Structures are given as structure tokens and as C-alpha cells.
Chain A
Amino acid sequence: MWDTILFGYVPYVFITIAIVGIVWRFTTDKYSWSSLSSQFLENRVLFFGSFPWHMGIILILLAHIIILLIPQSVLAWNSAVPRLYALEISGLALGILTLFGLVMFIYRRLTDSRVRSVTSSWDVLVLIVLVIQIVTGLGNAILYKWGSNWLAGAASPWVWSIILFSPKVAYVANLPLVTKIHIFNAMVIILLIPFTRFVHFLAFVGPLKYMTRPYQVVRWYSRAPRTEALRQYK
């Protein structure tokens, strides 16, 4: 019963709210479409927080997405034991890296009065949600070994069933509690994207465009907007 609600209906509710919220925030409040940086106020501890955290989380998240979307290839990779070991150990290492970064974040928010003054209650919620996610994730990795294998077998079909609008809750119903919390909390994170600094997940487009953009930008008000490729200094 609860499983059906939490893993059959709630995902759609959360994802719908997230999409509507993202569109709403983008159209009405583009100004705040980023994460409020506090490096200017404190940058020593931040280095040990931000760098490990972002490097770790980006790689581990990519791994999750690959396992969930193309499980067969991961199972094929894992068919050789040394490769399975390599994948699992690097996953665990990345998890520990993110935990370290997160602890630094929390330590910084608690101890630095300047950073505290720019911390909102949404930021506190974000940190709580992330702690739950990382701790349960590490719990999975340590308590229930070879997650990359059984994740491909159990969670991946569930994710696909959600995507294809025919939720098959049975895939996740029998998973351990820690894993269920991890999965549900992931949906909470998606839900929170439009309401918190998580929205900066979607701010990476600018830096990617920067890679191919000419250095200089000129805006004219007396000339029509340029349609051809931008040229330096023009």
C-alpha cells in the first residue's frame, strides 16, 4: 500500500511540481537562477568543501544515471570480477569524497558568522536532504555489496517503468529500507530544484556556451540584434 503510493504515485506528483516550478521560476524569477555564492565571505574552508563535493557528486551522479538508463552495458562491464571491484571501489571512494565535502559545508555554515548571515532556511533544508542522501548512499554501498549489479537489476526497471507511465512498484518494494530512503530522498531532491539553490544544476548552460563564444561581447541598441555568428569586438 505505502509502497504503491510512495513509489507509484508520488514520483509523478513530485516531478510534475518540479517541472511546473522550474518553468515558473525561470519565467518569473530568472534573476535568482543560480546558487548564492559565499566564497567572497569565506574561502578557506570552502575550498575543502566545494571542490571534493562537486567533483564527487558529478561523477557519482553520472554513474547512477548510466546504470539506471543503460543497465545492460553496466552488467556487461561487471561480468568480469576485477572490473566490478574497480567500479564498486571507485564508487565508494567518490561517496566518501562527497561526504567529506558535505561535512565541510556544514561545518562552515555552522561556524562562520558571515556565512551564517547569508544562510536561509532553504539552505538548511538542502543540507539536511543531502546528508540523508549521501549517508544512505554510503550505507547501501557498505551494507549491501555490489550495488552496481543489483541496482541495474532492480531500480533500473522501476525507473524505466516510471518513465513509460506504467509504474511497476514490485521492483523496489522488496529493497532494504536504507535503499528505499535513498530512492525516495532522490525524488525529494528533484522536487526541491525549483525552490532552492538546487536550481543551479540548470545554470551550467552559460559556461558551456562560453567555451565557443568570442571573448568580447558588444551590445548595440541602435542596430538590430545580430543573427550571424558573433565576432570578437563587434
Chain B
Amino acid sequence: MDVRAQLSMTFHLDKCIGCHTCSVACKNVWTTRQGAEYMWWNNVETKPGAGYPLTWEDQERFRGGWEVTSSGQLRLKLLKGPGKLRTLANIFFQPNLPTIDDYYEPFTFDYDNLFNAPAGDDQPVARPKSLITGEFMDKIAIGPNWDDDFGGSPVYASNDPNLKVLSDSQKEMLTKFHKLFYFYFPRICNHCLNPGCVASCPSGALYKRGEDGIVLLDQEVCRAWRFCVSACPYKKPYFNWASGKSEKCIFCYPRTETSQPNACAHACTGRIRYVGVILYDADRIEETAKLPQERLVEAMRDIVLDPNDPKVVEAARKNGIEDNWIEAAQNSPSYKFFKKWRLSMPHHPEFRTLPMNFYLPPLSPILHQAKSDKGGTFDPESAEFFNDIELMRIPLKYLAQLLSGGNEGVVMESLKKQMAVRMYTRQMRVGDVGEARVRGALNEAGITEQDALDIYKLVALAQYKERFVIPEIHREIKTTVDPRTMYEKRGHVGFGFKRREFVARKW
């Protein structure tokens, strides 16, 4: 057993209102630089939707993530056939690289014209201007959230790669207003245990930090081969076209190292985000990543270790994990959601990178379609509100495609638990569900009343310190830079050099 610590974020999708405050917080802190304007290390997608970059989940096109070969080996999808030799063959032209058009051309507006236009008969306008070329654009064809709230859904939402598994009648829901469903999906880098980006980098610039599991990209070592952009199935490394280096979400490590939550998590208005430590067994990464895709969620729960188990604690100490980290792991909301209560699940585990951010599947909108088919309406105040989950509006199949590699059982388990908690709290507050029915639901979901209360507290009432249990890294002992160079390196944020001040290099 090789116990490692990993910082992990959990997203409670039911509470996400799609306000993009997280994205803006991240952008303001990290990506308002030339070459990075188009990057959204944190972005929020409307699902179903094509996403950002467009159809990023389509691995036939981008070849991100891993596959198990016929000989039982784990191989990057990008390196199909000759394996690593393919990297040499594609080094001059990378066939699976998304281009700027798959994201969007960054733009600003000619605001000066509003103030400085000469007097005339017409109202002056601010025309869009490309941030790459500086030229005026005819029109803005696409933006980072073009299909927000189902804007243009026949074009965008219907191109969602996850819809392939749905039946025609289920797909039809996208166009029938009274059957419509959608939810928001915030995404950051998953800081995977078996990251595709790290594995694909010909320069070895990407690495996983041993202490907290954050995946980083060494800007000084990056040589612009761009394989990480393709190999990451989540499309979270981005190529900076001005500096010629890739960049990615850094889990706000300068903040987490001092036990502050990430900018996105801190800014979240819906308080949907939880950050905590997870202990896992690094010896079992490879065997876990190779399992059949329906078993991946279970296997990932298996590789995560119980921080209250004395044996695990002992092994963790032996491995140099400090006490404040072990204690944080014991209070970790991410651990509770993922393993203790089995509520959250990874995003697309079938990409086999073992992503380390987890999502609680959305229960809303619960108003199920069978009822509205009959023309009936719901009284959300009635006990009948709590209906059969099988008939809920968001097809279970779709959620399973998104969160469990097609395994509907684990999604169902989570939804049933969430529903049981709702019934439990409604009975507690309003009392119209009925004791027997609540107990039945709790039994069926396999949780105790205490569990239900704890879950309710954590999802609905939790305060800052309960949502963000982030232990400090002892910088005086562990440091990312040579202490002798710390003074001259102060002020660096990790992207280029301070003296360079983020200008595009000229050679």
C-alpha cells in the first residue's frame, strides 16, 4: 500500500445555477493575458450541449484518454498503433489538435468609438475586434458559452456526444418545451491519478505533485509539442498561442497551499463546491484504470482509502503524509460524498484517467415527464412531488453516460439516496410524507437517519470551514522552488518570467 494524498473538488450539480461566477473569478486571477484570453480553466456548460471546446467529449476526433489494448496494456488513445513512435511521426503536425475555431476567437469591442465618433446622423456602435489579429470581425460567430441555457439547442445540444445512447423519443425531449431538461456542468481540470496530459508530453513538462496530487505544467520545460491538448480527454490543457506554451488549471495551488479554497470554489454563489483531501493507494492506479468501464466508479471508490482506518493512517504517516493532512482527510467532504455516502461520481470515468473531481448527479427537475404527458400539472406542495426516479425528467441513461461510464446502477443509487434525504427533511419540516414512507425510502437507499441528517447538513447548511477542508502545505519544509532562488523568483505566478511580463515572445 502506497498511500498518497490528493486534493479533490466535489460539485453538487443540483445547486449550480449556471451563473459563471466561478469562471469569471478564475479568469480574473489567471487568464487575462495575451494568448490566454480564450482559455477558461474553469468553465460551466449547459448539458446537453456541445460544450467547450465544441464536442470535446468526442474522442473519435480528439483521441483523448486511454484505452486497453488487446494485450491488456493501458495505452494513450492518441498513440494508437505504434505507441510512442506515433509521437515522433506526428511531431511536425498533430492531427488531433483542436484549433482556435473549436473554442472561439477571443474578441473585444471598439469601445473608443462610442466616445470618440464624430457627430453624425447615426448612433455610434462598438464593433467587435479580434484579440488575435486586432482586426475588426464581421460578426462574433461563437463564444465560450454560446449554447448557454440551450441557446441554439437544435444545433448545439443535439451535437452532444453523450446523446448517442438515448432513444429517439428521449432525444425528442430536446425540442419539446414541456419535456425539456437541462442542467449546468462546471468543469475544471480533474487532476487525475492517471493523467493523459502527463503521459503524452514528449518534453516531460507536465507532472503530478506527489504531495497534493495537483497536476502542473512546467513552463520552462514545455516545448510547444501540444500533445497534452489532444491527450487530455477533458480538453483542459490549453495552448497559449502567444507564448507558445501550454497552460492548465493549477487548482489555485498558491491558495490551497495556504489552506484557502480555490478562486472558483470560493467565488461560487450557489455554494455547490466542496474541497477536501482524499487518501488513495498509488500501487493500484494501473490495475484500476484497466477495468471494464461499468466497474470503474466502484473501482475508484475502492482505491480511495478510509482515513479513519488505523492501518491507513499508519501507512500514510510512514509515507510522509503529515498529521494535518490526515486530519483533513478524516473531515474531508469529498471523501464523505464519494466513498462514505457513495453519492458523488467522477466525470466520464471511461476515459480511464481516474479523474479526481466528483459530481453529485442532479435530481432536479424531478417533475417527471409521464405525468405531464397526461396533461396533468404538479402541485410541488403535494407529497406526490416525490415521484418515481425511473421516470424523472433527465434520462438516467444520459447521467450514466456522463458520470459512470454507462453504469446506471451507481447513478440510481445516488439519486435514491438524495431523494430519501429530501423526503426525510420534508417529513422533518412539513410532516406530510409519512414516517413509514420515509423509513422505506431510507431503507431502500441504504442509509440511516443519521446519514440522512449528515448529508442534509453538508449539502444544505455547511459553512465555509466544512465545505473547504484544505490543510496547509508546510512551505518552510516543502517548497516548489529552490530556497536559494526564492527571493528572485518572488512574484512569479508560473507563467513565463516576471521580467517577461506576459508579452508574446518574438522568436
Contact surface of A with B, Cβ cutoff 8 Å? 30-43, 46-47, 50-51, 53-55, 113-114, 116-118, 120, 122, 195-197, 199-200, 203, 206-207, 209-211, 213, 215-223, 232-234
Contacts and interface: CB of A to CB of B under 8 A. Distances in A.
Interface of B: 76, 84-85, 87-88, 91-95, 97, 99-100, 130, 132-135, 193-195, 198-199, 201-204, 206-211, 219-226, 229, 239, 241-242, 244-245, 282, 285-286, 320, 477-480, 496-497, 500, 504-507
Contacts of A232: 286
Q: Which secondary structure dominates where chain B touches chain A?
A: loop
Contacts, number: 148
A117 to B, nearest CB: 5
Contacts of B130: 114
Contact of A215 (B76, B99, B221, B500): B76
A234 to B, nearest CB: 8
A213 B204 contact: yes
Nearest to A220: B210
Contacts of B239: 37, 40
A221 B479 contact: yes
A232 B226 CA distance: 22
A51 B87 contact: no
Contact of B100 (A40, A116, A197): A40
A195 B195 contact: no
B286 A39 contact: no
B507 A197 contact: yes
Given A207-B91, A233-B285, 5 more contacts: A39-B93, A206-B204, A216-B194, A216-B208, A221-B210
Given A114-B132, A215-B198, A223-B210, A32 B507 contact: yes
Given A40-B226, A216-B194, A30 B220 contact: yes
Nearest to A214: B199
Given A116-B133, A222-B211, A51 B92 contact: yes
Q: Which 9 A-B pairs have the closest CB atoms?
A: A215-B199, A206-B203, A220-B210, A207-B202, A36-B244, A54-B92, A34-B223, A217-B207, A210-B202
12 contacts: A34-B223, A43-B99, A46-B93, A47-B93, A54-B92, A114-B132, A207-B88, A207-B91, A209-B204, A219-B209, A221-B209, A221-B211
A118 B242 contact: yes
Question: Which residue among A50, A55, A207 has the maximum number of chain B CB atoms within 10 Å of its CB?
Answer: A207
Given A117-B134, A118-B504, A216 B198 contact: yes
A113 B505 CA distance: 18
Nearest to A206: B203
A221 B322 CA distance: 14
A123 B396 CA distance: 54
A113 B100 contact: no
B223 A41 contact: no
Nearest to B103: A40
B135 A113 contact: yes
Nearest to A101: B92
A117 B133 contact: yes
A218 B204 contact: no
Nearest to A58: B92
Nearest to A197: B507
A223 B286 contact: no
